[in-house]
Amino acid sequence: VEFGSNFTFNKTVVIDDAAGVVRNLGGSTLAANVGGTGYALLARIKFESLAGDQVDVDPADLTIEPLQLGLEIQNAKIDVSGVGEVTVNVGALPETDLYPVIYDIDDNNAIDYRDLIFFTSAYNQNVFNATSPYASALDFDKSGKVDYRDLIALAGNYGKKKSGNTQINYPANFGQKWVGNQLEVASGDDSVDQVIEAAIDTWETALGVEDLDVQVVVHDFGTAQLGSGQSTEYSVDGIPVGGRVVIDDDANGLGWHVDVTDLPTGGAYDLYTVLLHEIGHVLGFTRYFSGFGSLVEESGGDLVFVGSDFTVALD
């Protein structure tokens, strides 16, 4: 904790790392040091992961997911000499995430020869059929393959250590939520990541579940196919709870409309609705999953879902 230069006396702070709490953070200063309407810096708090915090690279994940700090301010007080305690309004806190150092594969706080050994074992492998279990983690630019671009990224950070307080250089697309080709965007005001998040959130809300594990891969089908969905994870009851969605990179040559709220006005395909459709297949809404297929009947050449007290025509 680093206190602001104006708060020079009565400084207190207790860091409880095990509980994840900074308690009794406070200090005193003169009114002249604060100003009338400006901001006053009480203190800066440095957050970092330590051994045992499990902010490390998971080789099983296609994309890197951050850990949210979940910051919250409780019991904020301000006392003014001669006035007493005044009302404190606490504004909304920004979401703050912790990411692992993607180049430190063995999580030893250094990017060194050990990480290079892991890299060479996976070099030139496609992440979807790799023999190395670390291929996904070593595909730093999420192109779908461990290649020379990833080697350049590793070399640019080689030798850096946590103790050295050095800046880590990440790929320009670090944090993107898909693997593979870049999508050809024709229209829309949102980012691809925002649309992916919205589609997953929609299904989580509809099913009343949290943290669906849906991996998105961008691929050139070379045909009229826009996407596909495959279940890869199941609950103990045999219900699909996760899997992989593959999306065509250019939407059959028309480009994607990337917007959560507005539908496309031209000929572009809507990425949000296609993702919703394919995620539905991942979650078992397909005739190939017996739990769903057993409730689908054919009537007059059309497919009908037959529920306990309702029916729905299927496209």
* Distance, C-alpha 291 to centroid of its chain: 30
Contacts of 282 (CB under 8 A, 6+ apart): 214, 229, 230, 231, 240, 242, 243, 244, 245
Contacts of 148 (CB under 8 A, 6+ apart): none
Greatest mean pLDDT among 7-11, 121-125, 161-165 lies in 121-125
Expressed as residue numbers, the domain containing 223 is 178-284
Could you tell me which of 64, 246, 250 has the C-alpha nearest to residue 171? 64
Number of other residues whose CB lies within 10 A of the CB of residue 294: 10
* Same-domain status, 272 and 182: yes
Does some domain include residue 33?
A: yes
Does some domain include residue 126?
A: no
* Same-domain status, 182 and 278: yes
Mean pLDDT (whole number) for 81-88: 79
- Of residues 291 and 27, the one with the higher pLDDT is 27
pTM: 0.70
Predicted pLDDT of residue 256: 94
Q: Which of 98, 131, 156 is the last residue of a domain?
A: 98
Does some domain include residue 114?
A: no
Predicted pLDDT of residue 52: 64
Does some domain include residue 305?
A: no
- Band of the pLDDT at 311, cuts 50, 70, 90? confident
| Per-residue pLDDT tens digits for 85-133 | 878 888 888 777 778 889 999 888 889 999 999 999 999 999 888 899 8
Percent of the chain scoring above 70 in pLDDT: 97
User: Token match 């430190």: residue?
Assistant: 104
Is the distance from CB of 258 to CB of 271 less than 8 angstroms? yes
Does some domain include residue 16?
A: yes
pLDDT at 77 over 80: yes
Q: Cα angle vertex 259, ends 255, 264, to 5°?
A: 55
Mean pLDDT (whole number) for 35-42: 74
Predicted pLDDT of residue 18: 79
CA–CA distance, 126 with 176 (Å, rounded to integer) = 18
DSSP for residue 219 = E
Q: Which of 70, 98, 126 is the last residue of a domain?
A: 98
One-letter amino acid at 14 equals V
Q: How does strand 185-187 pair with strand 256-257? A: parallel
- Of residues 205 and 285, the one with the higher pLDDT is 205
Could you tell me which of 66, 67, 68, 8 has the C-alpha nearest to residue 34? 8
Does some domain include residue 192?
A: yes
* Same-domain status, 94 and 182: no
Predicted pLDDT of residue 36: 63
| Per-residue pLDDT tens digits for 46-55 | 877 766 666 7
List C-alpha distances in Å: 33 to 18, 86, 177: 35, 18, 46
- Structurally, the chain folds into a number of domains equal to 2
Q: Which of 39, 71, 98 is the last residue of a domain?
A: 98
| Per-residue pLDDT tens digits for 140-159 | 999 999 999 999 999 999 99
Is the distance from CB of 223 to CB of 238 less than 8 angstroms? no
Does some domain include residue 298?
A: no
pLDDT at 192 over 90: yes
Predicted pLDDT of residue 50: 67
Does some domain include residue 222?
A: yes
Predicted pLDDT of residue 35: 62
- Band of the pLDDT at 238, cuts 50, 70, 90? confident
Residue 89, phi-psi category: left (phi > 0), alpha (psi -120 to 50), beta (remainder): beta
Residue 266, phi-psi category: left (phi > 0), alpha (psi -120 to 50), beta (remainder): beta
* Same-domain status, 92 and 187: no
pLDDT at 274 over 90: yes
State the chain's mean pLDDT as an integer: 86
- Exposure on the CB side of residue 177, measured as CA atoms within 13 A: 16
Predicted pLDDT of residue 211: 82
Range name among 58-62, 100-104, 223-227, 246-250 with the lowest pLDDT average? 58-62
Predicted pLDDT of residue 140: 93
One-letter amino acid at 207 equals L
* Same-domain status, 182 and 90: no
Predicted pLDDT of residue 40: 80
User: Token match 């509809």: residue?
Assistant: 206
One-letter amino acid at 177 equals K
* Same-domain status, 183 and 278: yes
Predicted pLDDT of residue 58: 77
Range name among 49-53, 82-86, 222-226 with the lowest pLDDT average? 49-53
Predicted pLDDT of residue 64: 76
Helix, strand or coil, per DSSP, at residue 201 = helix
Helix, strand or coil, per DSSP, at residue 97 = strand
Order of all β-strands in the sheet with 178-180: 178-180, 213-219, 240-248, 227-234
Contacts of 259 (CB under 8 A, 6+ apart): 187, 188, 189, 190, 195, 270, 272
Predicted pLDDT of residue 251: 92
pLDDT at 273 over 90: yes
* Residue 74 structure tokens: 């409780």
Mean pLDDT (whole number) for 45-70: 74
Order of all β-strands in the sheet with 256-257: 185-187, 256-257, 269-270
